[in-house]
Structure 1
Amino acid sequence: MAIIKNAARQTLGQLIGANNPPVVVPDDSQRQYAWGKREVDTYWADIQKFMRARRTGIQASSEYFIGPIVTITDDKITTRSLLDGQQRLTTSTILIAAIRDTLGTMASTEARVIANNIQRDYIARRDGRHSHPQYFLTLSLFDRDFFKDYIQNWNEATGRMAVTEQPSRPSHKLILDSYTSFKNHIISALDPIQSEEDRLDWLDELAECLVKGLVFVEVQTPTSSDANEVFETINSRGKDLSTVDLVRNFLMEKSRNDEEKERVNNAWRSLLDGFERREDIEKFLRHFWVARHGDVRSHSLYTTIRKELTHRFDAATPRYEVRTFAAELQNASGRYIELITSSTGVESLDSLLDEVRSLSADAAYPLLLAISDKVPYLQMVRVTQALISYYVRWTVVGRRESTLLEEKLFDLAKQISSGLSTEAAFEQITHWTPDDATFQSDFAQAPIPRSTQARYLLTVIEQHLRRNADVDDVVVAGATAVHVEHIYPQSPEPEFRLDEHSTWINRLGNQTLLHGRKNRIASNKAYPEKVDAYSSSSLLITQETGIERLWDFEGGGWRARGIEERQADLAKIAVDVWPVGARSDGAL
């Protein structure tokens, strides 16, 4: 059970005020700044509501409880290490800085004096002109310098920030976005206020609401393990719970020396610098674990990791060290980024990885990650071809249970990590893949309502047709101007509307590819009005797959039978495009 030294009511001004011990986010805990527009806008709306209630003078409206924070304090409480509450304290400091900067741009001397006082009392102060500033809130190493540069290092003489650090991480952009959002909110609130005196009063009231009205409960603990236990308990049901953050905190807790802690920090730098979004880091961490241990749900990932690693780290005869896990994580993250961005350097594999991404086939990545740890990228081509065919035949066209496919692939990834050969994995995937007769039958009847999947299927068929015709395929590959066209329109004229319209509209036999301008010309028109767009297209799937069968030239209307006929022909081609196992063209 966690030991709690004290739990005390603290205003924001007491937590980050000049006469109180500074708050420091330790390098061995906490996450980076993570609040986005929704959280920041909600925070602003709450503060505005609180300001209005506070004006009533009612005692019950004089304070606004914003939640608990968890700190690790020394016996004399000369410093406070912040484990939980970073997002709220950081966001509050950003808002205080936005108030300071707004005051700094006003013409009056009084406004500049108030701005400087806010800086000295609640953000940072200097003991002399050439002394280093003392910051009342110091973030962890991943955001520390950027936060100082953009938020805290205020020049009292110029009323500006130095701004020499460049944003290099997603959290840096979020800090900038939060500051910009608060500045815009303040400008909008001040816009209807005419006199500068009234504007000063409003800004002064806003600052007072923050530093005197916002109330926290500071839970003080003696050690990091106590703080971690309280942190996990508080966050067990809240948004602040982050698997990535909790895993890092756990690894720091289990680190036996500074060297191991630095190894963990190096791994986390790689994650933060390598991925563009926090969501991608969360996804990688799950896929990394699944690749080694089999399926685990996102909501139980941290619990599972903690339990398994605790057992391994605490074994009487150490079989596994924190530094080892951190190194494996860092190494895998580099390969994972290359897989999801199709940047392995092997052209044939990168082309296949583009297909995986186009299909949004996330279930494939744990297996690909596991294989990439065992063989060179060049040797992954054949099994990746088989994997794509399995996914297309089973899920996209066959519309079979996707969770069953996931279970199989996740278990296969675990087997690969445990020593199963890549060739054995290839054979297993081939065994699972629906046979040609089944696939052709499925394809001939399949509706494909998702435009991304329809575009993928039609594009790969087009590339196949061009290879067989020995025609350059540059026209399609990577061409963002190529769009999916519904031949029988999505919104036809009433006199041309087919019975069971919704049945036919998303059948693949009713879809083709057109370049953007031609697609706009052809939209929602009857066939005779757009036949020129089809006949002049450079795309073979539009020229040579019998689109004219969809129109009854004698009766002057659309033919549902024509959709079936064209789709049946596409199904015959599809058997060769997505074969069981490896593709004949370029297979290794």
Structure 2
Amino acid sequence: MAIIKHAARQTLGQLIGANNPPVEVPDDSQRQYAWGKKEVDTYWEDIQKFMRARQTGSEASAEYFIGPIVTITDDKVTSRSLLDGQQRLTTSTILIAAIRDTLGQMASTEARLMANNIQRDYIARKDGRHSSPQLFLTLSLFDRDFFKDFIQDWNETTGKAASTENPSRPSHKLIQDSYKSFQTHIKNALSAISLDGERLDWLDDLKDCLVKGLVFVEIQTPTSSDANEVFETINSRGKDLSTVDLVRNFLMEKSRDDAEKGRVNNAWQALLDRFERKEDIEKFLRHFWVSRHGDVRSHSLYTTIRSSLTSRFEDDFPRYEVRHFAAELQNASGRYIDLLMCATDCDPFNDLLEEVRALNADACYPLLLAISAKNKYEEICEIAKAVLTFYVRWTVVGRRESTLLEEKLFGLAKSVSDGLTIGSASQLIRDWTPDDETFYSDFETVPVPRSTQARYLLTKIEQHLRASEGVDDVVVADSGAVHVEHIYPQSPEQDYRIVEHSAWIHRLGNQTLLLGRKNRAASNRPFPDKAEAYESSSLLITKRTGVSRLWEDTTASWNTQGIEDRQRDLAKMALEVWPINASTDRGISWPVNLG
């Protein structure tokens, strides 16, 4: 049970005011700035509504409760470490700085004096001209220097920030964007006010709304453990707190000394530098855990990690410490980025990773992460091929339950981490893969409405045709010059519309690839108007798979039998493109009629 020393109402001015203990975000317990345009604009709109209500003078509109914050305080409350509430306090300080800078750029002496007072009372103050500023809000190491440089270290003479550090992290860019958004909002509001005196009054009212009207409940706790428990309880039902933040706070709590805390911070700094978004870090964290321990759902990831690691950290033998987990996490993140970016030191493996990315086959990554931890990339090409064949035959074409595929691959990832060999893992994948008879039956009737999947399937068949004929390969899958073409149009002219249109439009036999920018008007025309484009195409899947069978010249109408026939022939090729075992017999031999 968490110990709460004190819980009290505090205005924003009391929290970050000059006559109160400074607030510092400790390096061992918080995240970087995360508010984007949506959150900042909502915050501004809320402040404007509150400002208008406050001007009515009614007692009910005198204050605006913005939420709780959690701090760790010493006995004499001479300092406060902020565990929860960073986003709100940081954003409020950014808005106060935008008000300060607007005043600082005005011509009047009164405006400049108001700006200086705001800086000294609510952002930072100096004891002398050459002394370092005393900051009323200090962020954690991830954002501290940039926030100080861009927002807090202000030159009273010029009315501008003393210097400008370039943003080096996504959180820095968000701080910069939030400031610019507030500047724009203030500028737009002032444009409707003509007199300088009234502009000063409006800015003064806005400042008062913030520092006197915004109210928090500060929950003071004696230790980081107590604060973490309160923090998790407050955020357990909200979306403001991510799994990534919770895991980092937990690791800091379990760290035995400053060296271990430093190791965690190093790992988290690497994650922030390697991944562009918090959501990407969270996906990696889940895939890392799955690669070691098997399936776990995103909503229960933190509780699972906390429960498991707590037991391991408390065991005396074998000794497993926070620093070990942090190092494993950091090392795995480098390999994970290589997998995502298709940037390993093995080109054939990178080509297979491109296929995983083209299919958005995220379920493959935990297994690939587990295998790559113990094997060289060139050694795992065969199992990567087997995984792709399994994924295509099971999910893309077979349209079977994807959660069952995940269950199999995630369980296999854990088995590999526990010592299962690549050969045994490959055999298991082949055992799970739908056989040739089943795959052929699935393929000859499957609709593929998702253009990314259709592009992938058609591209692989194109590459197979080119390899069979010894024709130079071309880049298709990621080329913006190639589009998926529906031979029978998605929006045909009414006179040429097929009965049961929706049943045929996305059949793979009705789709092909074309070079050149898609001409939607031409694409919707009858076949004779498009025949020349197909016949002159340099892509073999368009030129040599009998697309003309889809049109009946005698009746001048589209022919659904042609769609079936062409898809059946594509299915025969697919057996060779995605074989269960590439090193043995290709399976059933099917004659292909290209019409």
The normalised TM-score by structure 2 is: 0.96
Aligned to 2:563: 563
Q: How does 1:249-268 map to 2 (within 5 A)?
A: 249-268=249-268
Aligned to 2:589: none
Alpha-carbon shift at residue 212 of structure 1 (Å): 0.4
Stretch deviating more after TM superposition (471-480 or 76-85): 471-480
Stretch deviating more after TM superposition (520-529 or 404-413): 520-529
Aligned to 1:148: 148
* Pair 253,532 (structure 1): closer, same or farther in 2 beyond 3 Å: same
Stretch deviating more after TM superposition (360-369 or 575-584): 575-584
1:357-382 Cα deviation digits (max 9, x unpaired): 11111111111110011101111111
* Pair 57,32 (structure 1): closer, same or farther in 2 beyond 3 Å: same
CA contact (8 A) 1:429 1:581 kept: no
Aligned to 2:341: 341
Aligned to 2:219: 219
Alpha-carbon shift at residue 108 of structure 1 (Å): 2.1
Aligned to 1:239: 239
Alpha-carbon shift at residue 285 of structure 1 (Å): 0.4
Aligned to 1:31: 31
Alpha-carbon shift at residue 106 of structure 1 (Å): 2.2
Aligned to 2:513: 513
* Pair 584,168 (structure 1): closer, same or farther in 2 beyond 3 Å: farther
Give yes or no for the alignment of 1:419 onto 2:419. yes
Separation of aligned partners in 1, 2:164 and 2:191: 31
CA contact (8 A) 1:518 1:533 kept: no
Describe the SS at the equivalent of 2:177: helix
Separation of aligned partners in 1, 2:25 and 2:263: 19
Describe the SS at the equivalent of 2:209: helix
Separation of aligned partners in 2, 1:127 and 1:141: 24
Alpha-carbon shift at residue 3 of structure 1 (Å): 0.8
Aligned to 2:292: 292
Stretch deviating more after TM superposition (456-465 or 289-298): 456-465
Aligned to 2:449: 449
CA contact (8 A) 1:370 1:417 kept: yes
Separation of aligned partners in 2, 1:227 and 1:360: 40
Separation of aligned partners in 2, 1:431 and 1:276: 38
Aligned to 1:53: 53
Separation of aligned partners in 1, 2:405 and 2:477: 28
> Percent same amino acid at aligned positions?
74
Separation of aligned partners in 2, 1:7 and 1:258: 29
Q: How does 1:501-540 map to 2 (within 5 A)?
A: 501-517=501-517, 519-520=519-520, 522-540=522-540
CA contact (8 A) 1:489 1:505 kept: yes
Separation of aligned partners in 1, 2:515 and 2:267: 44
Describe the SS at the equivalent of 1:574: helix
Aligned to 1:207: 207
CA contact (8 A) 1:426 1:581 kept: no
Aligned to 2:384: 384
CA contact (8 A) 1:255 1:322 kept: yes
1:219-247 Cα deviation digits (max 9, x unpaired): 00111101111101111101122111111
Separation of aligned partners in 1, 2:579 and 2:254: 49
Alpha-carbon shift at residue 117 of structure 1 (Å): 1.4
* Pair 583,487 (structure 1): closer, same or farther in 2 beyond 3 Å: farther
- Matched letter for residue 213 of structure 1: G
Separation of aligned partners in 2, 1:472 and 1:152: 60
Alpha-carbon shift at residue 581 of structure 1 (Å): 3.4
CA contact (8 A) 1:383 1:581 kept: no
Aligned to 2:357: 357
- Matched letter for residue 97 of structure 2: A
Give yes or no for the alignment of 1:93 onto 2:79. no
Separation of aligned partners in 2, 1:217 and 1:388: 53
Describe the SS at the equivalent of 1:237: coil
Describe the SS at the equivalent of 1:53: helix
* Pair 44,518 (structure 1): closer, same or farther in 2 beyond 3 Å: closer
- Matched letter for residue 379 of structure 2: Q
Separation of aligned partners in 1, 2:24 and 2:370: 39
Separation of aligned partners in 2, 1:14 and 1:64: 14
CA contact (8 A) 1:483 1:519 kept: no
Q: How does 1:82-231 map to 2 (within 5 A)?
A: 82-231=82-231
Aligned to 1:19: 19
Alpha-carbon shift at residue 417 of structure 1 (Å): 0.5
Alpha-carbon shift at residue 196 of structure 1 (Å): 2.1
- Matched letter for residue 534 of structure 1: Y
Describe the SS at the equivalent of 2:530: helix
- Matched letter for residue 329 of structure 1: L
- Matched letter for residue 56 of structure 1: T
Separation of aligned partners in 2, 1:583 and 1:40: 57
Describe the SS at the equivalent of 2:517: helix
* Pair 383,68 (structure 1): closer, same or farther in 2 beyond 3 Å: same
Separation of aligned partners in 1, 2:96 and 2:468: 65
Aligned to 1:580: 580
1:119-156 Cα deviation digits (max 9, x unpaired): 11111111111000111110000111111111111111
* Pair 45,319 (structure 1): closer, same or farther in 2 beyond 3 Å: same
- Matched letter for residue 264 of structure 1: V
Describe the SS at the equivalent of 2:70: strand
Stretch deviating more after TM superposition (456-465 or 422-431): 456-465
Aligned to 1:269: 269
Describe the SS at the equivalent of 2:555: coil
Stretch deviating more after TM superposition (239-248 or 515-524): 515-524
Q: Which runs of 5+ in 1 are unaligned?
A: none
Describe the SS at the equivalent of 1:101: helix
Describe the SS at the equivalent of 1:491: coil
Q: How does 1:430-509 map to 2 (within 5 A)?
A: 430-476=430-476, 478-509=478-509
* Pair 78,318 (structure 1): closer, same or farther in 2 beyond 3 Å: farther
* Pair 273,349 (structure 1): closer, same or farther in 2 beyond 3 Å: same
- Matched letter for residue 33 of structure 1: Y
Aligned to 1:395: 395
Separation of aligned partners in 1, 2:162 and 2:514: 52
Alpha-carbon shift at residue 38 of structure 1 (Å): 1.6
Alpha-carbon shift at residue 318 of structure 1 (Å): 5.5
Alpha-carbon shift at residue 452 of structure 1 (Å): 0.9
Alpha-carbon shift at residue 582 of structure 1 (Å): 3.7
Describe the SS at the equivalent of 1:369: helix
- Aligned residue pairs total 585
CA contact (8 A) 2:71 2:218 kept: yes
Aligned to 1:62: 62
Separation of aligned partners in 1, 2:51 and 2:566: 66
* Pair 537,105 (structure 1): closer, same or farther in 2 beyond 3 Å: farther
Alpha-carbon shift at residue 339 of structure 1 (Å): 0.5
Separation of aligned partners in 2, 1:569 and 1:61: 73
- Matched letter for residue 531 of structure 2: V
Aligned to 1:549: 549
Alpha-carbon shift at residue 539 of structure 1 (Å): 1.1
CA contact (8 A) 2:483 2:517 kept: no
Separation of aligned partners in 1, 2:244 and 2:327: 16
Alpha-carbon shift at residue 456 of structure 1 (Å): 1.1
CA contact (8 A) 1:243 1:282 kept: yes
CA contact (8 A) 1:485 1:519 kept: no
Separation of aligned partners in 1, 2:491 and 2:76: 74
Stretch deviating more after TM superposition (520-529 or 283-292): 520-529
The normalised TM-score by structure 1 is: 0.97
1:42-99 Cα deviation digits (max 9, x unpaired): 1111111111110111101000000000000111111100000001101111111111
- Matched letter for residue 78 of structure 2: T
CA contact (8 A) 2:456 2:477 kept: no
Alpha-carbon shift at residue 316 of structure 1 (Å): 3.9
Describe the SS at the equivalent of 1:517: coil
Stretch deviating more after TM superposition (342-351 or 176-185): 176-185
Separation of aligned partners in 2, 1:162 and 1:582: 64
Q: Which runs of 5+ in 2 are unaligned?
A: 586-595
